[in-house]
Every structure is written in C-alpha cells, then in structure tokens.
Structure 1
Amino acid sequence: MQDTLKDLLAAGADAAPAISAPARSPLSFGGLRRLIADTLAQLNALGIGRNDRVAIVLANGPEMATCFMACASGVTSAPLNPAYRADEFEFYLSDLNAKALIVEQASTSPAIEVAQKLGVRLIDLVVPGGAPAGQFTLQPRDAASGAAGGAAAASGGYAQPDDISMVLHTSGTTSRPKIVPLSQRNLAASATHIRNTLQFTAGDCGLNIMPLFHIHGLIAGVLAPLAAGSQVFCTPGFNALKFFAWMDEARPTWYTAVPTMHQAIISRASKNLDVIARHPLRFMRSSSSSMPPQVIKELEEIFQAPLVEAYGMTEATHQMASNPLPPAVRKPGTVGVAAGPQIAIMAEDGTLLPRGGTGEIVIRGPNVTAGYENNPKANFEGFHDGWFRTGDQGVMDADGYISITGRLKEIINRGGEKVSPREVDEILMDHPAVAQVVCFGMPHPKLGEEVAACVVLREGQSVTERELQTFVGGRAAEYKVPKKILFMDEIPKGATGKLQRIGLAAKLGLT
C-alpha cells in the first residue's frame, strides 16, 4: 500500500486527464504532478515546510482540489469552510496555529482581515487566463513590500508517511471543537480503501458536487479516484439546477453525495431522462448521513444503476464501512460491511460483542487518526484497547453488515453538516437578553435533523425568535442558525438535573 500522497498520485498516465471543470480544458496527471512539485517548492522557499500548517479558504472548484493536494503532499493542509464568519475564522486560525492562509486573489473573505490581525501570512492563489482546470500560481501578499525574504523551510520537499497531511476540526458537544490530525499514511490508506471498494479504473470520471472542506469530498470525491488514474470533474459546489448540464459536459461514470443532494437530484430527474440515458452511470454513492431506503430505490430506478451507501467520519479519514458493488449484496438501511478498517461492536464494559449484539461501533486500522491534538481527555474517552470509539450505536448482522441504531453523541447532523450544539449555546448566551439556553437536534423530513433551541430570558428582557436567529447568523454559518427557538420559563432537565439534548425534541413535541 502507498503510504504518501506522492506515491498515491503517481497513478495516471502523464497525458491522461486528472482534473476537469465546467468550460475549462482538463489538467493532465503530468500537469498535476508538476503543479504539486512547483507549489511545494514555492511554499518551501517561503519558509513553510513539512508539518507547518497552511489554512485554505477557497471556493469549491478545481483550484480548491489541486491546492489541497499540493499542500497535503508536503505541508499540513487545513481546509476551512469559506462560509464561516469572522469569529469562526479567528477561532480556527488561532487554534490551528496556521503559518499561512491561501485565498483567491480577489477574495473578500473575512478570513483575510482575521489573518492580518493574527499575523498569519497571506498568500494569493492566482489563476492565469486560459489555464487548464486547477492550474494556479501562488503569490505572497507581502512580496510587494520586500518582506518575502526569510529562510527557506528547514524540512522541505515531499512529506514522509507519519507527517501530518491534513488537520480538520470535529465538533464537540461537551467541549470546544477537537483538532483531528491525519497523517500521509491515513490519507493514502483511506483513498486506497475507497478506490478498492468502488473498483475505480482509469476509464472512470467522477462528477464532484461535494464541498472540498469536508472529508467526504476531499477523500472520496478527489483522492480515491485519482489514486486509480481516474478523472475528477470539479463543480463550483452542488446546484440541482445545473447538475444535469454538468452531467452532459462531464460524461461521468459515478458521483458521490449526501442524501439531501440525492433527493434534490431526484426532484429534477424526470425532466432530464435524456441526459441520464446518454451517460449511464456505473454507480452512485451516498455518505455523511443515513439515506432512507425509499430514496435509494427511487434513485436506482431513475438512473438504472446501484446506489452504494457508505459510513464515514473525520477521525477515520472518511470511509469505515460501505455496501459493496454488485454482484455482491447491497442491504438498504445498513451502511454495509467493513471497508478499510476493522469494525467491531463494543459493550459498555469494553468487551467486544458477538454478531447481533447492540453496542458502540468501534474501529481500528491504518486510516484511523492516532489521536486528537492536545486533548488527553478526548483521547482517553475516544480510544479503548487500540479501538477508536465512534460514539455511534449499532449492530452487526450475521453477514457482517452494520446498521446504525442511534447516535451516542449529541452532534446535530443537518444533511451531512455537523453542528456542535454547545457552540450555538455559547453564541446565544452572548445575547444580553438570554439567561439560559440548550440547543438540540429536531427531526426534519429532508435534512434528517435541524437545529433547535430552548431559551430562558433574563428577567424583564424581551427578544423575538427572528432577532435571536439574526444574532446567531452574524456569528456563525447559516446552517448552524436554530430554525426553531422555544421560549421557556426553565430548561427541561433529566432525572439527575443534567441537561439532556438527546430526546429533547420528542419531549417538547417537535417530532
């Protein structure tokens, strides 16, 4: 197995297309490899080397894909959601101890002002006119002032297997978001597992509609297919109105998405049956939140292709389990069989349960993070006897297929976007009218869950639901804003007096 991205991305004939995009000429594998080498040389000359952190705030598209791969190959990439507000960028850039921030040259992102305030070096990504998809050059903002000098990186070049290739934050309900460091070995292993599960070949072309600041899009959408010499067609992000036009242009053999995207595609499919017939898919893939079996059936009937549902998480560098491709059996309602790491079901006392027993899903393998950064408490709670505890409750049937029966963690899963309720609590608590708050997930027919909150106001204060939503919206990305806020005299508590987020929606009749 390849242990570094350099080895992984050695697949693909030099002249074969690697990265394409709407209305752009493709970048070849040879061009991609040269771009990665040139970018690393530029970063090294700026004093940025192996294990130095480079935050990336770019719009979805081919340059985000190639910039991520270039950084992840020799420094530590830290892709951030471009939709974050200034407060969020300040937290993440500080917490990551970022050495530099890469933005598009014309970007007006609040991340720029935050980086300047924190003393994080700014680097512009410049796309030359008429360049193939994903081609770019880097231009440090301080070059004009003569401050671009300085020592070259002490440890430059391509990263080694145990160097950190990427850092992402995971949401925590009882603590601040945790940093998940993922090594070259982790990324290479996960991309290889997905490549094998989906049986990619050089003849495949993936239509990528997933955001490229998420583990799902980065690993399954980009790295895994490229590891087989496949082509990746990078869109500006999901758009149901443009999906079928992109399909006509890309002529894909597959795509991966979250359930809400699949449902939006279904709603427009009847008007685009000619496009579907022209470009038959080999398969479709779904991950990041559970897919209703009814939707799987409808999608398979429309596209006349199998839908493969997979189960992933950041700490596993995405994929843990997956339903296999035909002729093997797919079981709708399950997340399939172990597809990379080993998977077991663990009882509360730490013993492994036989098949059919319900307990916590645990994993171990080369794609699993070695542990959270600077967080001994989370590592103590998250690992047991060499196994990583997912926080999900599940059961494995006699054939090894895993069903997720509940979530032990309280993270709100809004259509694949994970929201830490505690983070939203803390924002609401900053409002002068708010005395107490508890955020929780309430069921939503399309997204799976939506953010809700119970609020107790300070004596003599008044505020409307809309005003509080606007307040949160000014501090956090739109998907974190509570869609329902209940004003109460006291926060509902469990028998022991603890706040109980799980089950709160049902208790309050929000189901």
Structure 2
Amino acid sequence: METTLTSLISGHPGDMPAIGAPGRDWLNYDGLRALAHEVADSLNGMGIDADDRVAIVLPNGPEMATAFVTVAQAATTAPLNPAYREDEYAFYLEDLKAKALLLQDGYDGPAFAAASKLGMRIIRLSVPDGAPAGHFTLSSDGEATRKTRAPCSDDIALILHTSGTTSRPKIVPLTQTNVAASAQHIRESLDLRPADRCMNVMPLFHIHGLIAAVAASLSAGGSIWCAPGFDALKFFGWMKEAAPTWYTAVPTMHQAILSRAGRNADVIAAAKLRFLRSSSASLPAQVMVQLQQTFGAPVIEAYGMTEAAHQMACNPLPPRVQKPGAVGVEAGPMIRIAHELENHLIEGTGEVVISGPNVTPGYESNPDANAKSFFEADGARWFRTGDQGAFDADGYLHLTGRLKEIINRGGEKISPLEVDGVLLDHPEVAQVVTFALPHSKLGEEVAAAIVLTEGSAATEKDIRAFAAERMADFKVPRKVVILDEIPKGATGKMQRIGLAEKLGLVEGV
C-alpha cells in the first residue's frame, strides 16, 4: 500500500488526464508530478519543508485541489474555510502554529489581515495565462534559509480542526500514511480505475472532498473535474461538460440536485454515471431510493469522519446490496461496537469504534481528549467515533445517531435519525432535521425543523398528526418549525446540536 502522497501518484501514465475544470485544458499526470517538484523547490527556497505547516485559503476549484496535493508532498497542509472572518482566521492560524499562509494572488481579505498581524509569511499563488486546470506558480517576499527535508510516511500531511459544535475545536493531525491508506480504501471500495472521472462539488477545506474526490481518484490514476463549489442551478451544466462517471456529495446537496433533476432528464440520460456516492451525514432512505430511480445508478452511502481521514464503512457496489438506512460494511479500518462508558468491546448496540492505518495518531496537544477517545482492547488501539450504532445479520452498520445528539426525554432515549425517517415519508416534506429542544421538566423534548415541498400548505398540526400515527407518542415532535431553509454548517451538513438556540427556541412547548 502507498504510504505517502508522492507514492500515491507516482506510477500513473504521464499523458493521462488528472485535473480538469470548467473551460480549462486538462492537467495530466506528468504535469501534476512536475508541479509537485516545482512547489517543493519553491517552498524549500522559502525555508519551508516537512517540519513546517502551510495554511491554505483558496476558493474551491482546481488550484485548491493541486495546492493540497503538491504542498502536502513538501510540508504539512492546513486548508481553511475561505468564508471565515478575521478573528476566526487569527484563532486557527495561531492554534495551528502555521509558518506560512498560501493565498491567491491579489487577495487582501480577512485571512491576509489576520496573517499580517501575526507576522506570518504570505505565499502568493498565481495562475499563468492559458495554464491547464490546477497549474500555478508560487512567490513570496522576504529571504529565508533553504530547507530540503521531504516528508516520510510518519510525517503529518494534513491538519484539520473538528467542527467544535459544543466545545473548542480539536486539532486532528493526519499522517502521510493515514491519507494514503484512506485514499486506497476508497479506491478499493468503489473499484476506481483510470477511466473513472469524479466531478467534485465538495468544499476542498473538508476531509470528504480532499480524500474521497481528490486523493482516491489520483490513487487510481483517474481524473477529477473541479467545480468552483456547489451550485444546484449549475450542477447539470457542469455534468454535461465534465462527463463524470461518479460524483460524491452530502445529503443536502443530493436533495438539491433531485429538486432540479426533472428538467434535466436529457443530461442525466447522457451522463451514464457508474454510481453516486453520499457521505458526511446519514442519507435518508427515501432520498437514496429517489436518487437511484432518477439517475439509474447505484447510490453508495459511506461513513466517514475527519479522525479516520474520511472513510470507515461503505455500501458495496453491485452485485452486492446497497441498503437504504445503512452506512455499509467495513471498508478500510476494523469497525466494532464498544460499551459507551467502559473500555471494552460488546455485541449489539453501542458506540462505534475503529482501528486501522487511516486513523489519526491522536488529537494534538489534547491529552484529555485522547484519554477519552482512545483505548486498548483485544490487541488493538480503538478510537471512539461518538456515534451509536449496531451491525445487522449481514454485517451492515446502522447508525442510530451521534451520542451527543440522542434526545433524552425524561429518560426515554430517542434517535433523531429514526424520527427524520418517519417524517420524510410525508409526501409534502422535502427536508427534515430532528433535534433536542430544552425542557424545564423533561430535560429535553423532541422538535423538528422542516422544509416543505414547493406549493405545500401542510401545517405543523398536519405533520404531528402524521407522525403520531406512525411512532410512539414520546417520539412525536412536540414542536415542528416550518422553514424555507434549514441552517447548515460550512460543509453543507445540517447540524442538530445548537439548532434550538439558532432558531430562537429556548423552552419546550
């Protein structure tokens, strides 16, 4: 198995396409490897090598993809969300101990302001006129002593922060081996080949896009067509130009795509996708079935998280079954179920734990989090995912929710995913996220935020009556909030924790 990003892309034919983008020529593998050498030489000349961290703030697109792949072959990459404010950049840049910040030429926004105040080196990325997708040059002011140490398999390739919904974000370092192993796991799960082309619409400051779309495709000698982000209005036009064999997205993106699929039947018919992939949040069973019917291709739901360099489980390709409501079978690391409080493995329902070459060595500078998250049992080191779940008789993993998101209504434990599934069966419900509503007597009550289908006149009372016929009374949402749009995080995921506060709901009804 490849152990570094350099070895991941080393053996593919040089004239094969690697990176594409709207209206741009393709960058081939020879071009990508040459770019990696140029980037390493430029960074070394700036006094940056495997011992240093380079934060990256770039818009989504081919240069962000190649910046990650090439900088990570010379130093540690730390991609950051381009939508952050200056104080957020100041926090992350200091927390990461980044030596330099990589920015697009001409950018003077909040990331530049934060880095300048911290006295950090600014590296500028420029795209020469007529350059193929992803090709760039680097420049920086100031002198430095040249450094030359290249990364080895145990060096950190990528650093990301956890989302920090309920606490200070934790730093997740991922080694060259972690990244390469995860890319290979995804390649094997999806049987990716040089002929495969991924159309990437995922943000490239997030583990899903970086590893599933970019690194896994490059591991297979395939190609990635990089959209400038996600836009449901432009998605099918991009699909026509890109001619992909697959794409990967989060459930909310898939739902937005479905809403525009009817008027793009000709593009779908011409596309001939080999499969669609969904990850980063549970895909409602109804959406999985609808996607399969719309695109005439299998929908492969996978289960991933940052600490695992993305993928842990994955639904298999045909002829094996893709189970709606299941996140698949073991697909890389070992997966077991552990007692939620005690450090041992169990049968049945409990906390999902993983062990394997893609799993982070541990949170940086956070011994308390590491003590809570890792334990030794049965001859392996296990990481606690924070998810509750169980395997069925066929070895498919079913999640019941994040342990922190399970709603505790006066001692009754309710899975928000279960309530979501029931409410999505209502013909006029387009999207739903069930969440905990603080309650003075019960501790927590069940609430649901809902987006209705276009033209629907359904009311909160209708939705509650529908739910009451299909589930036990204590699971029926006491509060249903009908919205035009459900608030989402930076990566398009709907966030249950803190949603009551965001919606101004302080006390249960």
TM bin (shorter chain): 0.7 to 0.9
User: Percent of counterpart pairs with the same letter?
Assistant: 57
Tell me, what secondary structure is at the counterpart of 1:387?
A: strand
Q: Which runs of 5 or more structure 1 residues have no equivalent in the other structure?
A: 416-420, 422-437, 448-472, 489-507
Q: Deviations over 1:106-126 (max 9, x none)?
A: 223201010000111111110
User: SS of the residue aligned with 2:261?
Assistant: helix
Number of the residue aligned with 2:129: 129
- Structure 1 partner of 2:396: 401
Instruction: Report the 3-state secondary structure (helix = DSSP H, G, I; strand = E; otherwise coil) of the residue aligned with 1:138.
Output: strand
Residue 182 of structure 1 aligns to a residue in which SS?
strand
- State the match for 1:381 in structure 2: 372
Per-residue deviation, 1:396: 0.9
Cα offset, 1:41, TM superposition: 0.8
Residue 175 of structure 1: how far off its partner (Å)? 3.6
Corresponding position: 1:444 with 2:430? no
DSSP 3-state at the match of 1:102:
strand
Distance 1:95 1:23 in 2: 38
Matched, 1:71 2:71: yes
Matched, 1:324 2:316: yes
- Distance in 1 of aligned mates of 2:445 and 2:121: 37
Q: What is the one-letter code of the residue matched to 1:366?
A: P
Instruction: Label 1:446 to 1:308 Cα distance change in 2 as closer, same or farther (>3 A).
Output: farther
CA contact (8 A) 1:55 1:98 kept: yes
Q: 1:50–1:163: 8 Å Cα contact kept in structure 2?
A: yes
Closer/same/farther in 2, CA of residues 6 and 394 from structure 1, 3 Å limit: same
Q: Deviations over 1:63-116 (max 9, x none)?
A: 000001111112000000000111110110000011000011122320101000
Aligned to 1:231: 223
Q: Is the contact made by 1:173 and 1:410 (CA closer than 8 Å) also made in structure 2?
A: no
Q: Provide the rounded CA distance (Å) in 2 between the counterparts of 1:161 and 1:239.
A: 37
Candidates 257, 265, 270, aligned match of 1:273: 265
Q: State the distance in 2 between where 1:152 and 1:344 align.
A: 47
In structure 2, what is the equivalent of residue 103 of structure 1? 103
Match of 2:88 in 1: 88
CA contact 2:43–2:74 (8 Å) conserved in 1? no
**Aligned equivalent of 1:43:** 43
Counterpart CA distance in 1 for 2:303 and 2:50 is 31
Matched residue type, 1:364? S
Shift of 1:52: 0.6
SS at match of 1:305: coil
1:156 partnered with 2:149: yes
- Say whether 1:370 aligns with 2:361: yes
What letter matches 1:169 in structure 2?
Answer: H
What is the aligned partner in structure 1 of residue 59 from structure 2?
59
1:334 is matched with which residue? 326
Q: TM-score, normalised by structure 2?
A: 0.81
Number of residue-to-residue matches in the alignment: 430
SS at match of 1:74: coil
1:16 maps to 16
TM-score (ref. length: structure 1): 0.80
Kindly provide the CA deviation profile for residues 438-477 of structure 1, in whole angstroms up to 9, marking residues without a partner as x: 9999643469xxxxxxxxxxxxxxxxxxxxxxxxx9xxxx
The C-alpha deviation readout for 1:375-423, integer Å capped at 9, x for no partner, is: 000000000111000011101112211011121135999x9xxxxx9xx
What is the Cα-based RMSD across aligned positions, in Å? 2.5
Unaligned runs of 5+ in 2: 408-415, 421-434, 436-442, 453-488
Q: Which residue of 2 aligns with 1:4?
A: 4
1:207 and 1:247 in contact (8 A); partners too:
yes
Letter in 1 for 2:390: V
Partner amino acid for 1:394? G
Query: Against the structure 1 CA distance between its residues 185 and 441, is the aligned structure 2 distance closer, same or farther, given a 3 Å change threshold?
Result: farther
- Please tell me the residue identity of whatever aligns with 1:64: M
How far the C-alpha of 1:173 sits from its partner, in A, is 5.2
| CA distance, structure 2, for counterparts of residue 179 and residue 329 of structure 1 | 36
Letter matched to residue 382 of structure 1: S
Q: Which residue of 1 aligns with 2:211?
A: 219
Match of 1:461 in 2: none
Structure with more contact order per residue of length (Cα contacts < 8 Å, sep ≥ 6): 1
Could you tell me how far 1:272 is from its partner in structure 2? 0.7
Take 1:440 and 1:77, find their aligned partners in 2: how far apart are those partners?
A: 42
Q: Distance in 2 between matches of 1:367 and 1:49?
A: 23
Offset of 1:330 from its aligned partner? 1.2
Checking the alignment, whether the CA contact within 8 Å between 1:219 and 1:317 is kept in structure 2 is yes
Alpha-carbon distance change, 247 to 138 in structure 1, aligned in 2, over 3 angstroms: same
How many angstroms apart in 1 are the aligned matches of 2:406 and 2:17? 39
Q: Deviations over 1:348-392 (max 9, x none)?
A: 3222123xx000000000000010000000000000111000011
Output the CA distance in 1 between the equivalents of 2:375 and 2:223: 39
Inter-partner Cα distance in structure 1 for 2:264 and 2:405 = 39
Alpha-carbon spacing, 1:173–1:270, altered in 2? closer, same or farther (3 Å):
closer
Any conservation in 2 of the 1:300–1:306 contact (CA below 8 Å)? yes
Name the SS of the counterpart of 1:87 in structure 2: helix
- Residues 68, 443 of structure 1: CA spacing in aligned structure 2 closer, same or farther, 3 A cutoff? farther
- Asked if 1 retains the 8 angstrom alpha-carbon contact of 2:391 and 2:398, the reply is yes
Judged with a 3 Å threshold, the aligned counterparts in structure 2 of structure 1 residues 253 and 58 are, in CA distance, closer, same or farther, namely: same
For the pair 1:168 / 2:160, whether they are aligned, the reply is yes
Give the conservation status (yes or no) of the 8 Å contact 1:173–1:409: no
Q: Distance in 2 between matches of 1:367 and 1:318?
A: 8
Aligned pair in 2 of structure 1 residues 382, 138: CA closer, same or farther (>3 Å)? same
Q: Within 2, Cα distance between the matches of 1:55 and 1:442?
A: 39
Shift of the 401–280 alpha-carbon distance from structure 1 to 2, 3 Å rule, reads same
| 2-structure distance, mates of 1:201, 1:67 | 23
User: How far apart in 2 are the matches of 1:19 and 1:388?
Assistant: 34
1:229-274 Cα shifts (integer Å, max 9, x gaps):
1010000000011111111101000000000110111111111111
Which whole-Å deviations, capped at 9, do the CAs of 1:42-65 have from their partners, x for residues lacking one? Answer: 001100010311000000000000
| Alpha-carbon separation, structure 2, partners of 1:221 and 1:446 | 29
Question: What secondary structure, in the 3-state scheme, does the structure 2 residue paired with 1:73 have?
Answer: coil
Task: Measure, in 1, the Cα distance between the counterparts of 2:234 and 2:258.
Answer: 13
Structure 1 residue matching 2:78: 3-state secondary structure: strand
